[in-house]
Structure 1
Amino acid sequence: MSTGGFSKARLDRMHDIMAGHVERGDIPGLVTLVSRRGEVHVDAIGTKVAGGAGGPVRRDTIFRIASITKPVAAAAAMILVEECKIRLDESIEPWLPELANRRVLKSISSRLDETVPALRAITLRDLLTLRMGFGSVMAMPDTYPIQKLIREYRIGGDGPMLPTQATGPDEWLRKLGSLPLMAQPGERWMYHVSSDVLGVLIARVSGRSLGTFLRERIFDPLGMKDTAFHVPPEKIDRLPVFYFFNRQANQLAVFDGAENSAWRQAPSFESAGGGLVSTIDDYFAFSNMLLNKGKHGREQILSRAAVELMMADHLLPEQRKGAEIFFGGFSSWGFGAAVDIRRHDVFNTPGRYGWTGGFGTTAYTDPAEDMIGILFTQRMMDSPEPPKVFTDFWTLAYGAME
């Protein structure tokens, strides 16, 4: 039986397999959304608290979406580009003087005083493509000298962090500016930190807080009423408990509660790299805007050209070197999110744009298939490689297409 964009029987298979992850106790609850040719299917399974307490996960459950915040911030930056308030290849130093006159480590293993001058300034394009020269170090803690200060300064990119653990943006940027870069600007892709710098840049260029700018220019126009950097008291009952897998105890353990959540209050640092909370329908509104080339109803949030630029591949193979655990040889990076560049699995359509969040979320927009898929869970990822529930979801979503 066909429902238009999807096979009904195969959507039923998706439900059964997703429900299996919940029934086995891998994940307390989850919400899936698949959309194709204007047809939308949403499925909410499980509970907000492990063991069945707290009530069922629902379509309006508010999830901590982590790194799928990144494409939202990229869209915000492109709004400023289209208003000519900042340009892609301009230095960011007039707005972020803390990052002027950069020094660069001679090698990742160098002492912090073993540096050379940066060959050029960091640009907005570097931030959007995560090529500012600073980011996650994919090595065991304290393998290299710079890792100690990254952890001590809470710069980010070296593991999950609660919003209550961060300093304010000015202090955060000052600490970042006291450290050398790990690569020359534009030289190679390094995860995460560029996105948080981008958030500070958006705030300073716009003259508003990042949260205010996102609300005024993206969330309100798209009707994303539940997306923000914190959850107000009247909505806190819709926030599930958030878990990580404790390997020593071999069971799920609480990383962030609900009633006492770190997202209960506005954070001192609004992280463009991973700080938002959202619902499945809110994030679908954002994804659908991208699929519609920047349009939402009669509103043009971004131009078609801006969206196409966001969703293009902006990395050379040598710039991806060392990031194989993120890209796997079949994916690359656009502005704020990954872009599939070759068919590797059933769901890797060239041009598919999106990302995964370390707090158990994944969302991609596929222009070639006129398709959007979103999965929200409340379990932290165990590694940069996607968990089975993610790969199962994408396999089932693409397998359900007519």
Structure 2
Amino acid sequence: MKINSLFFGIALFGIISCTSTPPAELVITDSARARLDSTLQAMVAEGWVAGASALIYENGTEAYFNATGFADREAKVPMDRNTLAIIYSMTKPITGVALMTLYEKGAFQLDDPLEKYAPEFSNMKVFVGVDSLTGELKFEPLARPITIRDITRHTAGFPVNPNQPGLGDLLKEANAGNPANTLTQMAEKMGQTPLAFQPGTQWAYGPSVDVQAFLVERLSGQPYGEYVRQHVLDPLGMSETRYFVTESDRDRLSAMYRKGEDGQLTQVPDSLAHAFNTQEWPMTPGGYGLTSTLDDYMKFTQMLVNGGTFNGVTILKPETVQLMATNQLDDSVTERMFLPSKGNVGFGIDFAVRVAPTSSPDENMGMVGEFFWDGAASTLFWVDPENKLTAVLFVQIMPFAGQVHKSFRDAVYGPYQNPNN
């Protein structure tokens, strides 16, 4: 196992490797399984989560599975392999893959202006403040248009803070993200709302991937929900991954929990937690909204670690997956919101990408070249090409619980070891 590799010339998908032979030493050993069992059980016993489940594949075969605790603690429904979890932003990489199927067809180039295909984003301006004397909002023209690359790496400049003086009121008034909007209506409202910063100058997590879903719809001439189903989900056999959960399957939908300041878990009423997924809305967002099972999402990760192919079905070319898993952020982009909390990472096309080894015991363990993302309810997946390993962790806890991910990663790879010792 090549922990903390110093070489960024990773053998991604066997493309740039001199050999496609997997590492001789496995990551998921008996010791790792014991660590994982203990970690998942401790998460529940210590009240971090009500329930947890994890699935890991290594070299194309199942290396680990466990589920512990409750999908619904109050109803005593155990966490299970077929529990449906709300994956929130783990929807985003699926949308990115859908978009890149159109890239492979020559429908666009990454540095094309977004407005070339979506005039809704023409003639935009950037908010620069509020006049201290008159109270009027101040704007400046765009230094350059938003590009498609910007919406794949969160550098477009779309505002996200409803409490920002001046701009926040415009953001709330537009209400572009209301699920009662269609994707086209969302785009129209976003295009009429000033940007928070010049495109390409900052990394700010926001609605960019919803714009990707809109772009898929615009370029393909097909509703986004239908396109992603036809070109990604169905070919991979991901029948459990969906926005709308039918009544017959809702008994498998995990409850949602919120941890209070006192450290206690409180169940969020299902009427709130499941409101999006138990009703069919006009919007099919690219950035959130899907539910899935461990095995369904694992099919997606296996497609990625195999360079775009799973069970004989090719979704993307290996070079396209490699492009998505390559850092797209220039060093000049120093404002990166919460991204540094994920470790020594950059950002590719809808994935965080590890660019340097784990450098301290406090940092998440990971492999150089891995790519990953997570969800608001603290779900997590990653793809480790060097070890041909993919991992999916399901919990349903808010606010986002970074310590859950740290503990899980430590259990997989073992505790941090200083390479200088």
Match status 1:73 vs 2:95:
yes
1:106-185 superposed matches below 5 A: 106=128, 113-137=137-161, 142-155=163-176, 166-185=180-199
Alignment correspondent of 2:57 = 35
Alignment correspondent of 1:161 = none
Counterpart-to-counterpart distance in 1, 2:34 and 2:131: 51
1:304 to 302, 318, 330: 318
Alignment correspondent of 1:381 = 399
Query: Measured at CA, do residues 259 and 354 of structure 1 come closer, stay the same or move farther in structure 2, by a change above 3 Å?
Result: closer
How far the C-alpha of 1:112 sits from its partner, in A, is 7.3
Match status 1:207 vs 2:229:
no
Contact 2:137–2:166 (CA<8 Å) still a contact in 1? Answer: no
Q: Deviations over 1:311-356 (max 9, x none)?
A: 000001222x222532246111000010011112462321110111
Counterpart-to-counterpart distance in 1, 2:218 and 2:262: 44
1:287-326 superposed matches below 5 A: 287-319=301-333, 321-323=334-336, 325-326=338-339
In the alignment, structure 1 segments of 5+ residues that lack a partner are: 157-163
Q: Report SS of the residue matched to 1:114.
A: strand
Counterpart-to-counterpart distance in 1, 2:67 and 2:119: 46
Alignment correspondent of 1:366 = 384
How far the C-alpha of 1:142 sits from its partner, in A, is 2.4
RMSD: 2.5
Q: Deviations over 1:223-255 (max 9, x none)?
A: 101011121122111101112223379542405
Match status 1:327 vs 2:349:
no
Contact 1:127–1:198 (CA<8 Å) still a contact in 2? Answer: yes
Q: Report SS of the residue matched to 1:175.
A: helix
Counterpart-to-counterpart distance in 2, 1:148 and 1:184: 19
Larger Rg, first or second structure (1 or 2): 2
How far the C-alpha of 1:205 sits from its partner, in A, is 1.0
Q: Report SS of the residue matched to 1:244.
A: strand
Counterpart-to-counterpart distance in 2, 1:338 and 1:185: 19
2:40 to 3, 9, 18: 18
Contact 2:308–2:318 (CA<8 Å) still a contact in 1? Answer: yes
Q: Deviations over 1:355-387 (max 9, x none)?
A: 1111221111011121111111111234xxx52
1:212-291 superposed matches below 5 A: 212-247=226-261, 250-254=264-268, 256-257=270-271, 261-291=275-305
How far the C-alpha of 1:91 sits from its partner, in A, is 2.0
Report the identity percentage: 29
Counterpart-to-counterpart distance in 1, 2:159 and 2:246: 31
Match status 1:396 vs 2:411:
yes
Contact 1:129–1:334 (CA<8 Å) still a contact in 2? Answer: yes
Contact 1:361–1:377 (CA<8 Å) still a contact in 2? Answer: yes
Q: Report SS of the residue matched to 1:375.
A: strand
How far the C-alpha of 1:168 sits from its partner, in A, is 2.5
Query: Measured at CA, do residues 339 and 4 of structure 1 come closer, stay the same or move farther in structure 2, by a change above 3 Å?
Result: closer
Matching residue's letter, 1:48: A
Matching residue's letter, 1:322: E
1:329-348 superposed matches below 5 A: 330-344=344-358, 345=363, 347-348=365-366
How far the C-alpha of 1:127 sits from its partner, in A, is 0.9
How far the C-alpha of 1:153 sits from its partner, in A, is 3.4
Alignment correspondent of 1:59 = 81
Q: Report SS of the residue matched to 1:212.
A: helix
Contact 1:135–1:194 (CA<8 Å) still a contact in 2? Answer: no
How far the C-alpha of 1:143 sits from its partner, in A, is 4.1
How far the C-alpha of 1:109 sits from its partner, in A, is 9.5
Matching residue's letter, 1:45: T
Matching residue's letter, 1:36: E
Q: Report SS of the residue matched to 2:114.
A: coil
Q: Deviations over 1:161-214 (max 9, x none)?
A: xxx855322322222122111122222221121111111111111111211111
TM-score, length basis structure 2: 0.84
Contact 1:91–1:122 (CA<8 Å) still a contact in 2? Answer: yes
Matching residue's letter, 2:279: Q
Q: Deviations over 1:124-154 (max 9, x none)?
A: 11111111111434xxx62432123324433
Query: Measured at CA, do residues 109 and 273 of structure 1 come closer, stay the same or move farther in structure 2, by a change above 3 Å?
Result: farther
In the alignment, structure 2 segments of 5+ residues that lack a partner are: 1-23, 416-421
Counterpart-to-counterpart distance in 2, 1:94 and 1:285: 34
Query: Measured at CA, do residues 347 and 128 of structure 1 come closer, stay the same or move farther in structure 2, by a change above 3 Å?
Result: same
TM-score, length basis structure 1: 0.88
Alignment correspondent of 2:18 = none
How far the C-alpha of 1:3 sits from its partner, in A, is 10
Matching residue's letter, 2:289: G
Matching residue's letter, 2:402: P
